[in-house]
Structures are given as C-alpha cells and as structure tokens.
A and B are shown apart, each in its own frame.
Chain A
Amino acid sequence: MQTETVDWSTLALLIVLPLAIMLLASGIIPARRAWIVPISSTLGMLWVTIGIFYLGSKTNTVAAFASIPWMSVPGASFSLSIRLTPLTIVMMETIAVVSLAVHLYSAAYLADDPKLKRYYATLALFTFSMLGLVSSGNLLQLFFFWELVGFCSYQLIGHYRTRPSAGAAATKAFLMNRVGDSLLLSGLLLLYAQTGTLDLEQLTHLISADGTTWVALLIFGGVVAKSAQFPLFSWLPDAMEGPTPVSALIHAATMVAAGIFLLAQTHFIFSHAALLVVGVTGAITALLGAWGALIQTDIKKILAYSTLSQLGLMTMTLGAGETMPAMLHLYTHAFFKAGLFLGAGVVIHALHQPGHPDMQDIRQMSGLRTQLPLTSWLFMLCAASLAGLPLTSGLLSKDAMSASLEGTPWLLISFAVSALTAWYTTRLVWFVWWNDPNITSPGKPVPPAMSFPLLVMAAASLWFIAFPLPWRLESFIYPQEEIHAIGWLLPTAAVLNTAVVVAVILYYRSHRQVKESAIPSAFGIDLLIQAGVLFPVRQLAAWSQAIDRRIIDGVIHLTTYATVTTAFLTGAADRYIIDGLVNGAAKVARYAGWLTRSLSGGNIQRYLGWTLAALIIFLIWQNT
C-alpha cells in the first residue's frame, strides 16, 4: 500500500480549527444570544464534513500517516500519529454526516433549551474526539480519545441535570465504561511492556500470526463496555435519558461504534481462543438485545435494545474473524439507526406538552401516520432497512455478515437475530404508526430543520449508500476478493425477513394490545450488579471507614492515653514517693507545675528522649 504523509496544516484547517472555534464560540457567545450557537456550530460542522470528504477524495486508495513526538520518558515514548486508511476515511465521513445531521436537527429540537451553549460545545467535543479516535495511528492516542468520548456521552446523557434519573444514567454510563477503560488500559500497557510500541502499523509486524489471548481479552474488555456488550450493556438503554438527537449520535456514529471499530483495528492481536470469547459474547448480546427490543414499550428503549442486538451481530462476526462485513454493517447501521432515532425524536417533539414528561410509550401513540405523514414514511423506510427488507442497505450488510459466517454455527444465530429483528421492528412500526389512532391532539408541525436530516438518513437507508446494485454485495467498502460465495443466502434472507414482517402485521391486526412484560430491567443484570458489585463495594467502603476510625485511630488514641497515663504515674511516683521521702511536702507544690507540663506534652518529651537515647546508642556502637 502506498504511503502518503498528510500535511498537518491541512488537517488542522479542515478539522481541528473549526471544531476548536465551535467549542470557543459556545463559550464566548453571551447567553442572550445563544440562538447563534446552533447556527455557527452547524456551519462549522458543515465545514468539517466538507473537509473530511475532501481529505477522503485525496486519500481514498492510499493509507496516509503523519507522526510527531508526543511524550517520552526514559524507556518509553509515544508519538501522535494520524493513520488514514480507506476504512477510517469511511468512518470519518459517517461520523461527520451523522454529526452534521444531529447538529442541524438539535437546532430545532432543543431550540428552547436554556443550556444550548453547553450542549453544542459538548457535541463539538464529542465529534472531535470520535474523529480523533478513528484516525489515531497508535493505541494510546486512541485511548486518549476513547475516554474523551466517554466523558462527552456522560455530559450529554446527563444533559437534563435537574432530572435525578439523568444524573443516575450518566454516572452509570461513565462508571461501566470506566471498568472497560481500565481493562483496555491494562491491556495496552501489557502490550507495550511486551512489544515496546503501541503504534498500530508497527504492531501488525510484531504480533505473531496466532495473536495473543490475555492482552486481547483485556482489550476486548474495553470493547464490551463501550459497545454495550453482555454483561456491561445496561448503561445503553438507560442512556435514553439524554436528548433524543444525542441518542441518534451515540447509537449511530459515536460512542458505541468506537468499540466495534477498535475490535476491527486490533483484530490481528486476537488469538483463536480470544476470538471465540468475542464471538460468544456477541451472540449472547445479539439475542438478548433482540429479546429486549421485543418486550420493551418505550420507543427509545426499543431502539436502544435494537442497537445492542445489531452491535452483538457485528461483534459475533468479528469473533468469527471477519472484519469487513462487520464494518460494513456498522456503516449502514449508522444511517438507518440515526434515522430511526431522529424519527422518534419528531414523535416525542410533536407529542410534547409543556409541563408534562415526554411521551415515549408506544401503547399511547397508536396511528400517528395521519398526523405526521412524512415522518411516518421516512421512519418506515429506516425501519425497513433495520428489518432487512429488499432494496435496503440493511439487508445487504446483514447478508454480507451471513455470507462470511457461512458454514459455521454462527450462521444460525445470525438468521435467528435477523428474524427477531424483523419481528420487533414491525411491532414498533405497527404500534406507533398504524394501529387505531387514539391520540386526537393535532400535534406540533415538524420544523424543516428536523425533517430534512431525517429525509437524508431515510434516503441513506437504501442500497445505494454502499452498493451500486441492490442484489449484489460488491461495494466500495467491501473489497472484491473478500466476497464469499453467496448464491442462496441473499434471496433467502430477503424472503424470510419479508415473511416475518407480513406475519407479524397479520398477527397484530387481530391482537391489538401490547403486553406488559414482567422481565426486570436489563434482564436482571442491573440487580446482579447491584447485589454483586455495588453492595460489596459500599460495604467495603463502610468497613474501611470503620477500620480508620476504630482500629487505626483506636491504636493511636490508646498509645496516647497510655503515654499520658505513664507520665502521670511517673509524676505521681516522683511526687509522692521519691519527693515525699527526700524533701517532704514543701516540694510537692513546686512539682505540681512540672506534672501538668508532662501531661500536656508527655509524648513530645518522650520522643525527644528517644532521640537522645538513639544518638547515645549510636555513639557507643561507633566506639566499641
């Protein structure tokens, strides 16, 4: 592959500078002119997006590197480097487009929000961190942005700070990710201790063909938390506490995508054993997520569990050793999932009544298609892609994964999850848009700043986003040589998914009620974490405090009292026995003063005495 060095000034002009300006502008613009911020930020993001596409057009077929020294200590040094491969360029373009859509959409969705400036500043930092993450040439640099992405999601999930649940969800998201981050960091440090570098390009040459197991599993620990895999997934449904456009960003192009991306970047480190763990984790997550989406009644939570499930599929595919199909699905998923969230946001926005909590329960929003006709069709287009109906990008990317899994047991799970996906998607669409209307309020009109991004995402749910032809897997993302024999898979999947959709529609036409589910939140994982982790930690904390107060301080107080008592007794002996014998009562009064002195400063004198004794002892040793 040809190597070309990216000019840092180009990079700064195209990406870093506008994002820095956006960040600064959000800080400087006075609060009463906060309406400027969405406009300036969206324009800034547009500039960044154009810049990335320009960069992509220049480096589409070559990997480009640039590197400057960053930190060095005796025995270790790290550099900052940019590594652009066709894959990272596609990721950057996806991030930029989705982020731009969210910037524009938020301008309408959060128009009345008092914390608009903070929101846009964090959005800019979020985008910047994610762009930095995917373009990082070494893993430490990647980790740097990895945690920043986590911080930004903390801020955005907790955007509505006065809601206690938002604070709890934000803390939960950051803490769960912190657990993963620590594992990832330890994996990276071990890798560095073993190989002496974290540079991705150098690592590809240094790692033996079999890969490693423990380091790989530690890295995967980071992926599990970031991409919400089993068992660290419950933060993602809770993250729905954030504003809906943020959910679109987190679920599509930033945050959760980072884990899958890291897995793809470091797949050569993984040994067969490690890959098996990855695959099983992915399979469990894919099935659990699909099940969760099937039983939830909150529109955003259904989408959240759906994301879990799709991420699980990607992880499973990566576990089977297939990088490109998983990345392809990450790419197509970004657009239709962003579209679904933006559509859900339109619904929530339209049904919102001042003074009431947001209405998100699908049991209360039946038949909305008459009120929001355009949104309903765009939403359904995105949903079709999620369900994997013909002519959509979702069908093709899922099929790419299935094709790569052909001949392995994973294929079965892949098909099962596909069918479940079609099922829960149809259920969602049916109850939100088609069921008998039971809301009579007309709802607010949809501002163009919201419908336009949705329109773009819906269009991007069709096949042409990645494939020239809707019935062939060839695409710019998917090299020719990696296409497996497909033959029967694609038509089968298309027919199967369509059949499921039709069957589910027919079923719900006669059974119009959504059943309440009795499954505890996050399938009881939260309860388990509560009982198995949080409770012991709090108990340990309480014990530590008790040890501090009772045992350590207890010993110290005891020593002090013992010393003071000894001083008192010595004083008393002095006064009553020795002095009484020698001088009698006259001297007692004089020594009373001495006694009080030894009481208050008994310890100090004692220590000084020891010092003197030590000095004398050493002097004696020296001379004997």
Chain B
Amino acid sequence: MQDKLITLLILLPLLGAGILLIIPARHKEIFRRGALLVTILQLLIALSMVSRFQPGSAMQLVEHRSWINMDLGTWGIWKADYWVGVDGLSLPLILLSVVVLFFAALAARKIKFKQKGFFVLFLVLDAAVIGSFTAQDLLLFYLFFEFMLLPMYFMIGIWGGPRREYASMKFFLYTLFGSILILIVFIGLYLSGSDPGSASLTHTFGLPYLQDIARYTPGAVLSPDTPGTLGWFTWREWAFLLLLTGFAIKLPAVPLHTWLPDAHVEAPTAVSVLLAALLLKVGGYGIIRVAYPLFPAEAVHFSWLVAGLGVVSILYGAFNSLASKDLKRLIAYSSVSHMGFVLVGIASVTGSGVTGAVFQMVSHGILSAMLFLLAGMLEERTGNRLIENHSGLSSRLPHYTLFVLIAFFASLGLPGFSGFIGELFVLLGAFTAATSTGYVSLTLAFAALGGLILAAGYFLWAIQRMFFGPFAIKADQVRLKDLTFFDVGLLLPLSLFTLVLGVYPQPLLNLINGFTVYWLQLMTTHQP
C-alpha cells in the first residue's frame, strides 16, 4: 500500500516555497506567516503520523515508487526509487523537526530584510530535512542531504553576522567535502548490490536491499566476500571510514568540527536554532541509519574509533566551551560535547546505548533550540554576547534568568530534564559494552563521564559570571527589558518538552525501542 502522508510532509514546504516565490517581495509580513502556516500544517501531519504509527520494528507509512529507470547498455540499468518511510528512528526526529521548524519560524520575525528570500530558503531547507529523515533510497537520501547545504549557505551568508562570508564558506566547503565522501561510498554500494525485483544487472540504491548481504554481487567492490584491500584496510573498511567521516563532519565530531562554532556565532538566531537542533542530527541519523547497518562488521571493528571520536568530542568540546568568551560560542561547543554522547551510544551497540543516542539527539534538539534562542534574546537586549560584559543579570532580568537556569541545568544533565535520560542510557550502554563486548573500553566510558563534570563547570561558571554578583553591563546599546510575552511563548513550551521527557520518557522510548531491536538484529545477524 502506498501511503502519501510523508510525501505530503515533504511537498508542503516546497509548494509553500513556490507560492512565496511569486508573491512580490514588498509584502514583507506575508512570507513569515506563510512559512508559519506551512510548519503548523506539518505539525498536524506529523501528529497524525504518530497516531497511525505502530510501535515496532517495521518501516511504516511507506511510499515506494519507481523513479529513475534508465538502460545504460552494458553498464546495466540505472535505477533509483522514490522510497520513503518512517520507523522508530525517523519518527522521533521528524517530530523534533516539525516542532523546531515551527519555533524557528516564530523566532525568525527578527529577520528584518529580504524576508522573501529567507523564508523561501527556509521552506526548501524544511523539505530537505524531512526528506533526509525519511528517504530509504540512497540516491534520494543524498539529494536531500545535499539540498540542505545551499539554503543554509545563503541563510548564513546573507543574514549572518560580521564574519558571515567566512563562516558560510567554511560551512559549505566542510559539508560539501563530507558529502563527496558519502557519495563515493553510495556509488560503490550501488555498483555492488542488486535490486531483487529485476534482472541481475539492475543495481540499486535501496537502503533496505543493501542491508541484506545476499543482495551483493559476488566479487563486486563492496561485496563482503571481496578480499581486495587498499593500504591497511579492506574496501569495505575504507567505505565505512568514508561514511563515518562524512557524517562526522555533520555531527560534528572533533577534529572535523571547526565549521560549527563559526557558523553558529555568525548565523542569525533562527538559523542557529535550525543548524544545531536539526542539521547536526542528520549526521547522527546517517551513522545509525546508513553507516552501521550497511557495514556491521566494519563498524564493530572500528568501534574503538567511533567511541574514541565520541569521547574526544565530549571532552574537547567541553574544554573549548570552558574557554569561550562568547556565550553563543560556548553553546556551540557544548553542542559538540553533547553530540559526542551520540557517537558513544552508537559505538556501544547495545540496546540502551542506541536508544540513548536517539533520545539524546531529540533532547539536544530541544535544548539547543532553547539555548540559542536565549543567546539571541541576550543579544537583543545588550547588543553583545560577551560573558565578561555582563554581571548580575539576575536582579534585572529575573524571568530571563529563570529560563537560562532551566536550559543550562537541563543541558548539563540534571535529572528531571531530558538531557539526563539521554546521557544516562548512553553511559549505561557504554558501561554495559565495557563489561561485555568491549566495544567501548572502560577507560573511554569513564572519560565520557568527565563530560558531565565539565558541562556543569562551563555552564555554572557562565551563570556565576553573568547572573550572580552586582549588576553591571558593558555595552553600547542597552535596552534592558525582561522577557516579553512572545519570548516566554517560545521558551515555555520547549522547557515543558524537556521537563516531560525528563520525568516520563517512556512514550518517546517506546517509539525508539522497536527500531533499536531491529537495528541490533541487523548488527548481529549480518556479521560475517
């Protein structure tokens, strides 16, 4: 049965973008309202998806149609499908996406010029993000993955801060470099596997097909039985490493992360929110969805590397946060640190680790959205974000301080908020792996724990410097006013999300659990 709900979810923003394109640019207000309307409709669609979703391992709401089918003579048939669906990994991230997109569209009212261009790009990005989280065909996935790049490039490059050109170019080059690596592997996979429904020469980009080892043509480049090596590694090991690198740039993992602080610092608030809350998740999603299931033996072989990258990101990101003088930079590096937990969870290849990694992505999506909104609100009020320029804000901005406290403590993993649950299960996975399979060594598991202490360090130190003490501000333009009704409207729902997920996470865990079981099966049954 072909389900059209996901297609609707992807097409809606594209349609909206098309309509916005033909509206004259002078109707400034209409663009944001249009984008907002689209995101509201998407929220409703996503909710109906949740109501129809049966928690379990199967891919659901699937739409699978032939897309490209071109005969290339002796090179076989070039075949790619339009194939979308959701499961326990996609659905939480889609829910996160529609929620964050809605709040980003709200926050984007601070965009004061070229509204038309901004919201058209916003909607294109919207479609690409949803597409990435649902595509089941590698070519389709790659297209959506690449399509996120351009809108983001322009959104930072045009609406960004003083160093926007440098930041946007850096972001673009970094990510493009990663995409190329991913594309190389996808092409290799395409040439190595075959579509079950057609003649033997028909290759496939279908992800579920390629997860099945029986589908690989014996002797093909990335077929598990090919003994070929290049340098130290086999072809498949290289392929895994390329995929890991490509997705690790997006995640980002140290040392492939330096685009992130620059991009975040220069991007306008709404764009920072999208970048941190959604685009980083595509990296984690790619590793869970593509890299691990397609190369299970190689992934396990390199689990020390994945866990190591994760732990280095956790600690290195935290140290950089501690050294940051700019609040937004501090938050950006904390993202690096928190996304490191995702890698550690995946590397453990345990039920709790993987569920924890997905949970951590959702939780970080909510929290980073909140953190960047808060950083933006500070900049609106004092015109700068330097920590040293602020002191004793608590006495003048009590409501703002309250939300900062919530966001900071939730981010540093205080029980009762979602951050704790994600990190708890990731660490449980790491310690379980350390005492059983050894995929994450005990040393690394303990080192990851250091991230919890450092997170408390940089967040509390920032609070101490900015909110405690006598009131003092060094700034050119000060319009000190506590949170407006609108600001509270942005922050309160996000606070409630993180609180509810932190106290009673089971509904979200239920969504994820079915996928985790299926994923663990993929990882174990397909080990050669």
Contact = CB atoms under 8 A, between A and B. Distances in A.
A172 to B, nearest CB: 9
Interface stretch (A158-166, A282-290, A477-485): A158-166
Closest 9 CB pairs of A and B: A167-B468, A74-B351, A75-B351, A544-B319, A541-B323, A541-B322, A73-B355, A144-B415, A545-B323
Given A75-B350, A182-B449, A182-B452, A161 B468 contact: yes
Interface in B80-115: none
Given A72-B513, A75-B432, A193-B436, A548 B320 contact: yes
B11 interface: no
Interface string A609-624: 0110011001101110
Contacts of A145: 415
B30 interface: no
B258 interface: yes
A338 B454 CA distance: 34
Interface in A528-579: 537-538, 540-545, 548, 552-553, 556, 560
Contacts of B220: 622
Contacts of A544: 316, 319-320, 323
A179 B455 CA distance: 11
A151 B410 CA distance: 11
Given A73-B509, A75-B432, A171 B460 contact: yes
A174 B460 contact: yes
A178 interface: yes
B17 to A, nearest CB: 24
A175 B415 contact: no
Interface of A: 69-76, 140, 143-145, 147-148, 151, 154, 158, 161-164, 166-168, 170-171, 174-175, 178-179, 181-182, 185-186, 189-190, 192-194, 537-538, 540-545, 548, 552-553, 556, 560, 603-604, 607, 610-611, 614-615, 618-619, 621-623
Contacts of B67: none
B352 A186 contact: no
B468 A552 contact: no
Contacts of A607: 176-177, 180
Majority SS at the chain A contact face? helix
Contacts of A194: 435
A538 B516 CA distance: 39
Contact of B506 (A72, A148, A154, A553): A72
B118 interface: no
Contacts of B361: none
Contacts of A537: 319, 322, 454, 457
Contact of A619 (B75, B322, B324, B415): B75
Contact of A171 (B450, B461, B505, B520): B461
B191 A622 contact: yes
B434 interface: yes
B468 A164 contact: yes
Given A74-B516, A545-B320, A611 B180 contact: yes
Interface string B172-190: 1110110010011001100
A315 B177 CA distance: 58
Contacts of A603: 173
Given A74-B513, A144-B416, A541-B319, A182 B453 contact: yes
B464 interface: yes
A244 to B, nearest CB: 20
Contact of A73 (B463, B504, B516): B516
Interface string B307-340: 0000000001001101110000000000000000
Contact of B319 (A143, A151, A540, A611): A540
Contacts of B274: none
A148 B170 contact: no
11 contacts: A74-B352, A148-B415, A154-B460, A162-B471, A192-B431, A537-B454, A541-B320, A544-B320, A552-B258, A607-B180, A622-B75
Nearest to B445: A186
A71 B505 contact: yes
Interface stretch (B129-137, B296-304, B372-380, B420-428): B420-428
A131 B504 CA distance: 19
B457 A193 contact: no
A164 B520 CA distance: 51
A163 B391 CA distance: 11
Contacts of B460: 154, 171, 174-175
Contacts of A186: 427, 431, 445-446, 449
A293 B452 CA distance: 33
A127 to B, nearest CB: 16
Contacts of A622: 75, 191, 220-221
B513 A179 contact: no
B428 A192 contact: yes
Given A75-B350, A75-B352, A151-B414, A189 B520 contact: no
B18 interface: no
A68 to B, nearest CB: 11
Given A175-B460, A178-B453, 4 more contacts: A76-B352, A171-B461, A182-B453, A545-B319
A174 B435 contact: no
A491 B207 CA distance: 82
B351 A162 contact: no
Interface in B482-509: 504-506, 509
B209 to A, nearest CB: 18
B218 interface: no
Nearest to B405: A155
Interface string B203-235: 000000000000000001100000000000000
B506 A175 contact: no
A71 B509 CA distance: 8
B395 interface: yes
A618 B452 contact: no
A170 B255 CA distance: 34
Contacts of A543: 319
Contacts of A154: 460
Contact of A542 (B180, B323, B454): B323
Contacts of B438: none
B432 A193 contact: yes
A71 B392 contact: no
Contacts of B356: 73
Interface in B37-65: none
Contacts of B421: 71
A552 B255 contact: yes
Contact of A174 (B177, B184, B456): B456
Nearest to A125: B416
B522 interface: no
Contact of A179 (B173, B174, B392, B453): B453
A292 to B, nearest CB: 25
A167 B320 contact: no
